Amino acid sequence: MSSHTEQSAVTVLGLGPMGRSLAGAFVDAGLRTTVWNRTPGRERDLVARGAIGAGSPEEAVAASALTVVCVVDYDAADAVLRRAEVADALKGHTVANLTADTPDRARDTAAWAAERGVRYLDGAIMTPTTTIGTPAGVFIYSGPVDLYREHRPVLDALGGTHTHLGEDIGRAAAYDVALLDIFWTAMAGYAHALALAKAEGIGARELAPFAKGIGAILPAIIEQSAEEVDDGTYSGEGNPITSAAASMAHIVHASEAHGIDAGVMRAAEGMARRAIGLGHGSDGFTRVTEILGRR
């Protein structure tokens, strides 16, 4: 975009690694980009590239129809947005909050925004900083669909795919925590596997090609498991939960023989043993989804 109209202006609050990447993508797209960070100095490189540094958050949000927030959590976001001067400057403007937190926090902030005449979208960024401004970025949003469509042309400057998940303002955060649950438990498992391999004299580089093979079989398992959970079938054909529990026990014993904490795998084995104890030993491991959801 070459013309800087109000609709082609955007403000970014929060200039950590992700916030700087977002602001940089907006600047590179030719948008009039105003930036502010609680700790001064982080805006210098962006200003050198063409961004406008604001002296205060209220000055920053007043400069654009759309403010994108990306800070560490909702405590940090609320500490800025809920200041009286900022809330007044935001009246009639839109906030797209790309800060990660829980669905309940998103709903609470949306309720606060509605009471003060602030238009509000919630969202999450599902890919790392290096993907921002490229086709590999993944962004999810929830809230009023008309508001999302109105600001989509500016958000498109971030590159990648943008998906509106529904009107429930907490839906994007719900996707975010579920997907990060997959990522961090997988990374915890991988870190544990590397520790166990190292204890047995196997280097991380030696294990990596085989670890990638494990990762390669997961997409098909994810799709099959999703069908089983939604349909309530929990098929154990080929790999019943009794077999899974035996494998987990081997990992626990091998780990603890080397003095390696096996708490994560003990928790997983505990889920499997609970399912077996409830009479589901011939089912697949996805049966634990139903058991975990019981109150």
What number of CA atoms fall less than 13 Å from residue 258's CA on the CB side?
Answer: 18
The domain 203-292 is placed in CATH, from the list 3.40.50.720, 3.40.50.12780, 1.10.1040.10, 2.60.260.20, at 1.10.1040.10
Q: What is the model's pLDDT at position 7?
A: 53
Q: How confident is the model at residue 5 (pLDDT cuts 50, 70, 90)?
A: very low
Q: What is the pTM of this model?
A: 0.92
Residue 248, helix vs strand vs coil: helix
Tell me the per-residue pLDDT of 164-223, one tens digit each, with 9 for 90 and over.
999 999 999 999 999 999 999 999 999 999 999 999 999 999 999 999 999 999 999 999
CATH of domain 6-168: 3.40.50.720
Tokens representing 29 are 């797209």
Helix, strand and coil in the chain, % to nearest 5? 55, 10, 30
Q: Which amino acid is at 64?
A: S
> Is pLDDT of 67 > 60?
yes
Given this model, what pLDDT does residue 122 score? 98
Domain locations along the chain: 6-168, 203-292
